[in-house]
Amino acid sequence: MRLIRHILLPTATVILAAAASAAGAQEVVKIGLVAALSGNSALSGEAITRGMSIAIDEINARGGVMNGKKLVLVKRDDESNPGKGQLAARELIEKEKVAIVFGGIDTPVSAALVNVMQELKTPYMGVWAAGTNITHHGKTPNFMFRVSVVDERVDLAMMKYAQKNFGAKKPGAILVNNPWGESNQKGLEKASVEMKLPLAAIEKYGAADVDITPQLTRLRNAGADSLILVGNAAPAAQVMKSLDRMGWKVPVVSHWGISGGRFNELAGPRYKDVHFVQTYSFFGKQSKNGEKVLAELKKRYPEIKGPEDVLAPVGVANSYDAVMLTALALNVAKSTNGDKLREGFYGIPDYDGLIKTYKKPFSNGDNDALTDSDYIWVRFEGKNAVPVK
């Protein structure tokens, strides 16, 4: 009997420990983040992390999701590399058992995740990358969701802005030579036809190029009276430096990639000339949610004294709203199963968010929560992205 007791007791201990571990695991719902947490776009990853963390803590403080389960954030650095992003997403899903993967600033990374998320039947939530094909990829059912801008919609908005505010009759485009640039080329060509506004020419530049004067010279010679700029902060800064060297004082309308890094430091004196799209600004009169999030940012980060200190505000705002919508989808689904959670997003009730009041933000056929009516226009003053007056 003593021998049997010695055998049974350790076994029972193992079983109880396993049961306790399983019970503990059931008390949380993990949310993954694959984003640029290092390198030239690290600011974007930090902004996304801040917005997600504030939302997660707010949700957990009021009881969590799915009858008391706490949300937990698990992060991985994709280093702006599509291959590393794919490996990170697989690890988060297969090892960490996250219910959903949030994505970062880079369209090439997010586009590379489409097949991974579809294969593993796990929802993705984009909060920055704007490539049209991230959510509009032709695969069904669609596991790719987004609270961010969409290239096709931004391209039309940039063309309209150049026409209305700068009198553009023949804009030229200078696009980074990667899948994000390709996405915008398609969108700009479509907008050009829709608006009957001819493009002078389209030129591409490499993300590592330091002299873009040849491409810009061709655009000037083609008669471009304004420029549509697409690129993240560091490469787009080289475009502005090249414009300055040429002495070409052409109006520049930009996509929002320049807000995810140190564009104001890198671009030289012409950085102030660029008007670019955003989804949110902490400047001006704020909604109740805006006041609450700004107060929390000040509380958590001593360097933030006011809206001028909130760097990459769209990363904060988009990710905050996206986490809140994800929590609502989890409550609708009552499950972390990928298919059920995907369906849960289509059943989200109206939600008064930071960016706007969402009314059925997602529907079969449109997994993008924001439209072009949700965009605002800003320019840099120092490090601050302030609304264009």
Is 319 found in the same domain as 244? no
Is 224 found in the same domain as 333? no
Q: Quick check: 17 pLDDT over 70?
A: no
Token pair for 243: 């414009």
Could you tell me if residue 58 is inside a domain? yes
Task: Give pLDDT tens digits for 137-152.
Answer: 999 999 999 999 999 9
Phi, psi of 330 (to 5 degrees): -65, -40
Is 131 found in the same domain as 15? yes
For residue 259, the model assigns a pLDDT of: 80
**Final residue in a domain of this structure, among 228, 260, 278:** 278
Is 268 found in the same domain as 203? yes
Is 142 found in the same domain as 68? yes
For the chain, the straight-line distance linking the first and the last C-alpha, in angstroms and rounded, comes to 86
Task: Give pLDDT tens digits for 338-358.
Answer: 999 999 999 999 999 999 999
Q: Can you name the residues that pair with 228 across neighbouring β-strands?
A: 173, 253
In the block, residue with structure tokens 């579809």:
118
Task: Give pLDDT tens digits for 227-272.
Answer: 999 998 899 999 999 999 999 999 999 998 888 778 989 999 999 9
Is 143 found in the same domain as 180? no
Could you tell me if residue 206 is inside a domain? yes
**Parallel, antiparallel or unpaired: strands 28-35 and 70-77:** parallel
Q: Closest Cα partner for 39 from 207, 240, 237, 261?
A: 261
Could you tell me if residue 166 is inside a domain? yes
Is 230 found in the same domain as 139? no
At 148, the amino acid letter reads S
Is 130 found in the same domain as 157? no
Strands, E assignment, the chain: 28-35, 70-77, 100-103, 124-126, 144-146, 172-176, 202-205, 227-230, 252-254, 274-278, 351-352, 357-358, 376-381, 384-387
Could you tell me if residue 352 is inside a domain? yes
Percent of all residues in the chain with a pLDDT value above 70, rounded to a whole number:
93
For residue 26, the model assigns a pLDDT of: 56
Q: What is the greatest pairwise CA distance in the chain? A: 96
Token pair for 167: 């009198």
Helix axes 107-120, 179-195, angle to 10 degrees: 100
Task: Give pLDDT tens digits for 89-136.
Answer: 999 999 999 999 999 999 999 999 999 999 999 999 999 998 999 999
Is 240 found in the same domain as 314? no
**Final residue in a domain of this structure, among 251, 278, 305:** 278
For residue 381, the model assigns a pLDDT of: 87
Could you tell me if residue 385 is inside a domain? no
**Parallel, antiparallel or unpaired: strands 351-352 and 274-278:** unpaired
Could you tell me if residue 70 is inside a domain? yes
Q: Quick check: 14 pLDDT over 80?
A: no
User: In the chain, what are the helix, strand and coil shares in percent, each to the nearest 5?
Assistant: 50, 15, 35
Is 336 found in the same domain as 258? no
Is 98 found in the same domain as 18? yes
Task: Give pLDDT tens digits for 294-307.
Answer: 999 999 999 999 99
CATH number for the domain including 253? 3.40.50.2300
User: Range of 50's domain?
Assistant: 11-149+287-371
Could you tell me if residue 327 is inside a domain? yes
Is 246 found in the same domain as 356? no
Q: In this structure, are residues 321 and 147 in contact, taking their beta carbons and an 8 Å threshold?
A: yes
Could you tell me if residue 99 is inside a domain? yes
Cβ contacts of 294 within 8 Å, gap of 6 or more: 282, 286, 307, 310
For residue 11, the model assigns a pLDDT of: 47
For residue 386, the model assigns a pLDDT of: 84
Per-residue pLDDT band for 7 (boundaries 50, 70, 90) equals: very low
For residue 6, the model assigns a pLDDT of: 47
> For the chain, what is the domain count?
2
Average pLDDT in the chain: 92
Between CA 362 and CA 69 the distance in angstroms is 24
**Final residue in a domain of this structure, among 223, 248, 278:** 278
